[in-house]
Amino acid sequence: MSSREWVYEKFSAFYKDPSYKFPPPTAFSQREYAFLLFKERAMVRHKGFASPTALRSTLRGRIPSDVYHSCAYYENPEAEMDKKGWQGADLVFDIDADHIPTSCGKIHDEWKCTNPDCKVSGGMDGRDITPEVCPACGGVKFEVKTWACEECIDTTRGETRKLLDMLQNDFGFAEHELHTYFSGHRGYHIHVENQAVQSLDTMARKEIVDYVCGIGLELFDKKRKKKPKGKKSKTSSRAFSLGDYGWNRRLKIGMSKFIAESTKDDLREIGISKRGVDVLYKSKDAVLHRCIEEERWDTVKGVGFETWMRIAEHVKNREISQIDTVVTTDVHRLIRANGTLHGKTGLLKIEFPVKQLDTFDPFEEAVAFKKGTAQIVVSNAPQFSLRGETFGPYKNQTVTVSTAAAVLLILKGRAKLAEEQH
């Protein structure tokens, strides 16, 4: 038996288990469904089902590696795209470590140049990250093996926390309209189910993306200086100003926190002049009270427009939520189905309450395979934990691990069944 066939059997047993129940999305029968088949490695699209029971029957019969449904609602889900009859779509956000720079990537990711005459490789050494250009041949295509560690999940959790705060406090969505999911791999999905957003087209969703990403913010007012008596020249100046709503409020809170907690090195790192650093550090209370609380931005000598702009830009970059923008703007997007296995990890996409974002542990709650062990040969893998059990690090080792750990390592291309080696 090959390693992939063994994983296929585990997926098959999961979906054929009588206790398995597919958690149906809202408006179940109006969604398009799609499957990436395990054995054929082909995508099957434009499927519709009258009931969750019919879908479960298909899962048990075809055993997909991945299951998706449309974010959109259709009149005829099984028709071709131009004949489906689009009736609206949920507002969906995908936050994935693949789109967020993290320092842990150089510790657990591997890369290899795909040029057949080169195949230089790297990673897993604590120093190397996937290059943009191969250092040996100049190629730009690489085979990359990623991993999901605690730092990856903590990073995406932080981005998700910021997004949820915007959706609730800036856009006004109620908590019950927000559905939070662990994606099954390296991040989170947020589904907004609200009639007000269902009819939004791509451009309207792009406006939401721009807001979430802080694109196009105006951080100052243009004011014309009064012309002194007897002078003919007309000059203009810029005055820094923030309001009390939306991004303005968000920036004021963030700037206040940054100034209160910053060291001199923190201020220097964002490009504040030596004089500005000294004034900000020595006069924090005055700056926080007069400038930010009372909004008299130019009342502390030595802290002017350029200083405020640098601080605001720094805070903006900390406060934005790094999302996959394409997912949100696509009104026909397919998204991984809740309660199904991820074909790259064997973990579940699983929903949890918004309030549990900080306490939900995907390496405990999203584990689908809870029984059995397997003997595998691991080529290279970092230390990781599943269901409270720690594994690795491994380097060219034959080990016996839990079924869940074996499935994860095989799907990530880090291991094979020991019996396959003989």
**DSSP assigned state of 29:** G
Beta strands 110-113; 142-145: pairing state: antiparallel
Closest CA to 149 of 112, 100, 97: 97
Distances (CA, A) of 231 to 226, 227, 236, 238: 10, 7, 14, 20
- Tell me the per-residue pLDDT of 89-119, one tens digit each, with 9 for 90 and over: 999 999 999 888 787 877 788 888 888 888 7
Give the pLDDT score at 148: 87
Give the pLDDT score at 358: 97
Side-chain half-sphere CA neighbours of 330 within 13 A:
12
Rounded Cα gap, residues 406 and 411, in angstroms: 8
Give the pLDDT score at 288: 95
Give the pLDDT score at 225: 47
Side-chain half-sphere CA neighbours of 68 within 13 A:
18
How far is CA 262 from its chain centroid? Answer: 28
Give the pLDDT score at 232: 53
Quick check: 193 and 177 in contact, CB under 8 A? yes
How high is the mean pLDDT in each 10-residue block of the chain (422 residues)? 95 97 96 94 95 96 97 97 97 92 79 85 69 84 86 95 97 97 97 96 98 86 53 60 89 95 96 94 94 92 92 95 97 98 98 97 97 96 96 96 98 93 54
Quick check: 135 and 120 in contact, CB under 8 A? yes
Give the pLDDT score at 235: 45
- Three-state SS at 258: helix
Give the pLDDT score at 65: 97
Strand order across the 394-402 sheet: 394-402, 373-381, 415-417
Rounded Cα gap, residues 111 and 181, in angstroms: 29
Distances (CA, A) of 341 to 80, 179, 195, 354, 366: 27, 18, 29, 21, 9
Rounded Cα gap, residues 66 and 347, in angstroms: 11
CB neighbour list of residue 231: distance below 8 Å, 6 or more residues apart: none
- Three-state SS at 400: strand
Rounded to two decimals, what is the model's pTM?
Answer: 0.90
Encoding tokens for residue 271?
């490009």
Encoding tokens for residue 197?
């957003």
Domains of the chain with bracketed CATH: 3-96+160-207+324-368 (3.90.920.10), 220-319 (1.10.8), 369-422 (3.40.5.50)
Rounded Cα gap, residues 38 and 42, in angstroms: 8
Quick check: 15 and 59 in contact, CB under 8 A? yes
Give the pLDDT score at 124: 67
Encoding tokens for residue 26?
């809202």
Strand order across the 142-145 sheet: 121-123, 110-113, 142-145
Residue found by looking up tokens 């802290």 in the block: 303
Side-chain half-sphere CA neighbours of 263 within 13 A:
3
H-state helical runs in 262-367: 264-269, 274-282, 284-286, 305-319, 325-329, 362-365
- Three-state SS at 212: helix
